[in-house]
Chain A
């Protein structure tokens, strides 16, 4: 068959209408696991955070972690869901080496939270994403398949399993079909994942880090021919590990499915895997040969029946949610839509707000976080919030700038010192001897020396080429190791050369 494997996106959209569905798994940041007391920290030595319960040893029994239920209810409430009065866990039965019990404790036909929605914005337009359900389950262990080409269990020489992750509380959020997004489908999918991440982060119930797997998206895509009344067959793309990948996976599936359908082929209902490098998906296991999970109510756990009073108590503890907050800070800080988006995407809203609370003005607070500190975070490969500097410290440095004790260049050196663990801003200033040279005598002496050393340039300035003074200012700054006040130096140079 010589059909093209992909169709151009615009062409695909002209012929087909995409329908999306997104299933998101979020690991809750509880101190202990879903059904036992084991710790949940990321990155521990493999198989050190395990016990008879999360290893599924014979005789062990699960007991529900109250904090996890609190976390999922908060998510449900923030997503405008109804929290049901009574529901049960269910067992999802299938054999896999990273599933200690060979069944997963999950929820099936009785999810805890139902019928919610989340609004997202794409290019000025608002899309309301309907939420079908939010349910509670436990995570599986993590497999590492060694040898073989695919990194999957088939063809591997051997496999290693880390059960530290087994039993970590996992919340699954399932959208209803997302329609009428047209050519914005990839962007809407990304915007949804972004907004969901922000929302959950604001609740403080998860660190929602896609690169560490604490937030994972499965993207369902189907196409229907223009004018058709029935949806097409969908595929489910897994292994989508970044917000950008969500967008790319949707786009790639639209392009692939369009090519298949356009050539008269049919879409197989299957799981597909997204590949970060190529931005495309490949076929995983077919749903036709998929297992029958034989769900049934989990007999080891009593039903969940969150009291209305408790639900209302939790509702009252919800923080200002991201959308409302964005509207507020945009007004308060006077940001354009684009500026706001950048701040949000950088995860800097909290940091800027806290810096402002510590005394800085919004514009400079934003400047430091979005420029200097963002650059350093990128260099270090960490999130902005993970930098070894607090909003209060940023505010303190700015205060020194405002007081004329530091200039921007010196301030950057203070940032460097703080980030390098040299201490608080004042300690760094003292230790490094950073101080704007405002002593006119010392500055004057430096300038005289610079003029003497750069006679040719000085002559140009004297002859009226004022722009050439910049080189002298630079030399003064260099000679003063950046501590001179550049503005004052320029004034003095021009004065001494009779060009002012």
Chain B
């Protein structure tokens, strides 16, 4: 393994900028790592070395030509397969889009290119981002680098695994109910969900429009902040994009102090259903915050208990409509078009074959929830709950600067364990969903290993809308203190992956 793959994104950026190495060399090192370990991890759906090296060489040329490039120029990134890319297929983990080459780049893809990041490939995900384990990918499961028999979280499990396995220092993800934070937590890395509207959705294949939020993965808080800053900000192509400056997340990550900050512990996110090792590490993190000078209080958010059921009405409702366009007419899979069947029959056959069981389950749930006569009782009621949850946040942020909770109630579970039990699977997002419903900023940072299984535990930090800098500030403070205690990043405790022979 090349030393380059263990570097942080910030380090790589400055090594490339100073000419000590080149983007091409860094790309090659990461391609080698992918070749060596991805046969076991299976984080990627698509990697094309030639395209990667071409991008890297272009960055080196831009620099040679004197172009002013950002701090991440030349740094490789693993890109979730839900972002459109003109030079790579985009499938959203679904059979229905197998081989689809989008004719346009997502705004975030374009911003990554502009900032000189080198897109290593497209990462595996639960089909259409529906799931918490990446087992719902139509292609293959992804394995947690800490224990290959376990899930890497989901839906952005390919991205979390790639970063945790040193296949890439950075990755993109999307977080609709926890799809960045939960995979970050269970793979021992950092994952942030920006404020809804703070990072653009244009070119992200939609799951639930009012919840989908793109965000960064990294092995440390500063790297995540650098990536956050590189791709966030107003986008005129997204009506819900906020036309305000990006909160100063990089500055906050560098500041990394919590003295005098008021921290609220969400009372509702504890107790039954929380793995003891998760609770223990979380409680220690809270004590640590207190020892660093934060004022810790317990805060009640009574409506958070209704977040999960409200989410499972709103997200499926929106997805039932968003996924209607996959009808075999203009792009993607087409089944049964033998010249004798009607358009309607071809649509039905294609959707029957092209969508996996979880996607179908959610389309049906949503179709039902929106149907005439049920709308008020389901979708309408869920929207009311959503308002109540936002009010709980408002009330809480009247008392405290940030809220904290475990990111997810358990550590990574074994592949297959919850595959046939959707309710158990849905519980993985119990603590992360409220921030999606209210649009808040949130982050997950590693806070140790659970005693019973030695697997990573995540600390979730939540801040108000556009308070993204706070989650980075607190996250970085916790990270610094814990790394001092551990003598390095948590990921250093992960078992070395066997590298395949070249």
Contact = CB atoms under 8 A, between A and B. Distances in A.
B97 interface: yes
B324 A59 contact: no
Residue with the highest number of chain A CB atoms closer than 10 Å, among B321, B331, B347: B321
Is chain A's interface secondary structure helix, strand, loop, or mixed overall? Answer: loop
Contact of A97 (B102, B103, B343, B379): B343
Interface residues of B, number: 45
B201 interface: yes
Given A55-B330, A294-B370, A302 B239 contact: yes
Contacts of A213: none
Interface stretch (B35-43, B202-210, B445-453): B202-210
Interface string A283-297: 000000000101110
A103 interface: yes
Given A58-B90, A59-B205, A93 B343 contact: no
A61 B84 CA distance: 13
Contact of A59 (B106, B330, B375): B106
Interface residues of A, number: 30
Interface string A36-59: 000000000000000010011111
Contacts of A292: 371-372
Contacts of A60: 104, 202-203
Contacts of A100: 325, 330
Interface in A125-170: 153, 159, 161
Contacts of B34: none
A102 B240 CA distance: 21
Contacts, number: 102
Contacts of B237: 61, 63
A56 B325 contact: yes
Interface in B99-138: 100, 102-104, 106
A55 B103 CA distance: 11
Residue with the highest number of chain B CB atoms closer than 10 Å, among A55, A58, A93, A300: A58
Contacts of B83: 59
Nearest to A98: B329
B260 interface: no
Nearest to B343: A97
Contact of B238 (A52, A56, A58, A63): A63
A263 B330 CA distance: 49
A224 to B, nearest CB: 27
The 4 lowest CB-CB distance pairs between A and B, nearest first, are: A102-B324, A299-B209, A294-B370, A299-B210
Interface of A: 52, 55-64, 91, 93, 95, 97, 100-103, 153, 159, 161, 292, 294-296, 299-302
Given A58-B97, A95-B324, A294-B371, 15 more contacts: A58-B92, A58-B205, A58-B325, A59-B84, A59-B206, A60-B202, A62-B239, A93-B321, A102-B325, A292-B371, A296-B318, A296-B375, A300-B239, A300-B240, A301-B240
21 contacts: A57-B84, A58-B92, A58-B97, A58-B102, A58-B331, A59-B204, A59-B206, A60-B202, A61-B202, A93-B320, A97-B329, A100-B325, A101-B325, A159-B343, A161-B329, A294-B320, A296-B375, A300-B209, A301-B239, A301-B240, A302-B240
